Amino acid sequence: MHFIDDWMHTEALADRMREADICLGIFGTTSKASRVIPYKVFGSLALRRPVVTRDSPAVREMLVDGESAILCEAGSGAALAAALRRLRDEKGLAERIAAAGYDRYLECGSAEAIGRDLLRELATRCGH
């Protein structure tokens, strides 16, 4: 297991994520952390990597625990460790999570999906 402690540019981060077996999201306990899905989660999903991140209302709008990501209690090292053990121990889980996460990214997180939803919303608000 290798942890990356340094901040890095987007391109370097994407390269590291491509090499990773599992990508970690956000685990903070602040109110902001409960309202956001960080870029690195979207990037991990787009790269078909299994994601472990905190459970939050924002994340639940896009991802389902055990299906498209592994969600764990915010701020809990024990919960994070249990999530990582689950991915290690359950045969095929990481691959299923990665595939389903990628599908969710295409459905609602990609530029195309966001553009489609934005156009639909604008048409609704503008009466077209």
Count up the domains in the chain and report the number. Answer: 1
Given a cut of 50, the residues of the chain with pLDDT beneath it are none
Structural domain includes residue 2: no
Structural domain includes residue 99: yes
Q: From residue 25, give the alpha-carbon distance in Å to each of 2, 5, 119, 123.
A: 15, 14, 29, 34
Structural domain includes residue 1: no
Structural domain includes residue 98: yes
Structural domain includes residue 67: yes
Nearest to 43 by CA among 97, 103, 109: 109
Structural domain includes residue 35: yes
Task: List, for residues 21-48, the tens digit of each pLDDT value.
Answer: 999 999 999 999 999 999 999 999 999 9
Q: Please give the Cα distance from 100 to 13 (Å, whole number).
A: 22
Query: 45: domain CATH number?
Result: 3.40.50.2000
State pTM to two decimals: 0.89
The residue range of the domain holding 95 is: 10-126
- The residue written with tokens 């077209």 in the block is 128
